[in-house]
Structure 1
Amino acid sequence: MSDAPNYGRAFALLREAAGEAWPAYTRHAFVEGLKNGSLPREAFLHYLRQDYVFLIHFSRAWALAIVKAETLPEMQAAAETVRVLLLEEMQLHVHACAEAGIPEADLAATPERPENMAYTRYVLEAGYSGDYLDLLAALAPCVLGYGEIGARLLSEAGETPYRDWIETYGGKDYQDACIAAGGLLDGALERRFGADWAALPRWQGLVKRFADATRLEVGFWEMGLKP
């Protein structure tokens, strides 16, 4: 998997350790449908509605990271992420759905699919029962996986009705956010365990967290194909 973006040392190791689950997520049929424009519009709108619900819980998980953090910079990074999710990324979903004739009230009332519930509650449980690193490992596949997908699709996609989505996640603002998130994870590991953190038994628990969340991302795409 030589097309890995440079989001830091921990991400590179986690991505590799996830094995076949990682390309199953980042090169899923849903993703390729975004790239070539073959994804049915109904499936995309269904995905957007579920992702709006997902982002509500994802914001709660990042808010929990404020509580689990050990330093003020860690708290500030989590707080800024919550702000972006609630006030920027979710509003993109609102606008896209409004253009398709789905008012915000209907969007907010979207029934949550079981695949969505499984993923979001897994991430929240990682934060409730684990520590800051458990939470970051469970959050990372979404944040950094979308960055990898966006960057690749931005370079590979031609004419597609999903160009706005691709430019959002492949664009500089989101890519900078991924670099910052990868640095946050690297810094948190080194602060707690020193430079040799990858050799410690604790690391294997984080590898499992990341791999589990990656498989749940695959399930989310599968859900997106079944409106």
Structure 2
Amino acid sequence: MSSPVTLPDFPLAPPASLFARLRQAVAEDWLAYTQHPFVEQLGKGTLPEAAFRHYLVQDYRFLIHFARAWALALVKADTLEDMRHAADTISALLNEEMRLHVRYCARWGISEADLEDAPEAQANLAYTRYVLERGFSGDVLDLQVALAPCIVGYAEIGRALHAQFAESLAQNPYRDWIEMYAGEAYQQVARHAILQLDRLAARRLTEARFPDLVETFRQATRLEIAFWDMGLMQRF
């Protein structure tokens, strides 16, 4: 029998949290996602610009469907507090993050028209539709578990890259991206997502249900891996 995969510490997720349990349950896939060659090249600053540009365009398309998923979370919410959280997230995505994304892409020579006109890559289609399907066919906990690898995974990646490459970050062309996800504002988003999973779990989780949530989390994590693969293999 092979030894269990040891994951690096992630202080935002206490060991007893649902997120930490899911992360450990898919440890091998989680490392393949958070330590993917795309991520490593971002940290070193060696990622080809064309790969990053293609990723940025697809990430914008992803955010559109991410907002739709949060709209579904509002519909399926258990409480008014959960509804307000979902509504605030939708507003932030549509009115703040997507506008910031447009401005960020402009630095890389990508216009808003480029973003709007770009076709979705197959990896993007597969990932976004899977998250929506889990929301439609399951409940709000299924949906939030499907969303968690993206929300929290980027916080872990940003935090790790910022720590690992601190000395060379000033010369890294992807410094702004790393600092955005390592920054306290985004770390707080991830922290809130972890707490929200625990609040939902307190109302809806049974141990009999846990294996199904693991499979949802695993599939979403593998689709994140495919998203990085897309960034390396295709060109914008």
Indicate the TM-score class for this superposition, using the shorter chain for normalisation.
over 0.9
CA distance in structure 1 between the partners assigned to 2:125 and 2:162 by the alignment? 30
CA distance in structure 2 between the partners assigned to 1:5 and 1:221 by the alignment? 24
Q: State the AA in 1 paired with 2:223.
A: L
Matching of residue 207 in structure 1 with residue 214 in structure 2: yes
Q: Which runs of 4+ in 1 moved over 6 A?
A: none
CA distance in structure 2 between the partners assigned to 1:156 and 1:85 by the alignment? 29
Correspondence for 1:173: 185
3-state SS, counterpart of residue 51 of structure 1: helix
Correspondence for 2:4: none
Instruction: Identify which of 54, 77, 85 aligns with 1:77.
Output: 85
3-state SS, counterpart of residue 11 of structure 1: helix
Uncovered stretches (5+) of structure 2, i.e. residues with no partner? 1-6
Matching of residue 3 in structure 1 with residue 9 in structure 2: yes
CA distance in structure 2 between the partners assigned to 1:115 and 1:189 by the alignment? 29
Describe the superposition over 1:95-120 as per-residue Cα deviations: whole angstroms up to 9, x where unpaired.
12212222101211111000100000
Q: Number of aligned pairs?
A: 222
CA distance in structure 2 between the partners assigned to 1:224 and 1:5 by the alignment? 28
Q: Percent identity?
A: 55
Instruction: Identify which of 151, 166, 183 aligns with 2:195.
Output: 183
Correspondence for 1:163: 175
Query: Given that residues 126 and 223 in structure 2 are in contact (C-alpha distance below 8 angstroms), is that contact kept between their aligned partners in structure 1?
Result: yes
Uncovered stretches (5+) of structure 1, i.e. residues with no partner? none
Correspondence for 2:3: none
Deviation for aligned residue 1:87:
2.1
CA distance in structure 2 between the partners assigned to 1:100 and 1:58 by the alignment? 23
Q: State the AA in 2 paired with 1:98.
A: A
Query: Given that residues 15 and 22 in structure 1 are in contact (C-alpha distance below 8 angstroms), is that contact kept between their aligned partners in structure 2?
Result: yes
Correspondence for 2:230: 223
Matching of residue 128 in structure 1 with residue 140 in structure 2: no
Query: Given that residues 46 and 224 in structure 1 are in contact (C-alpha distance below 8 angstroms), is that contact kept between their aligned partners in structure 2?
Result: yes
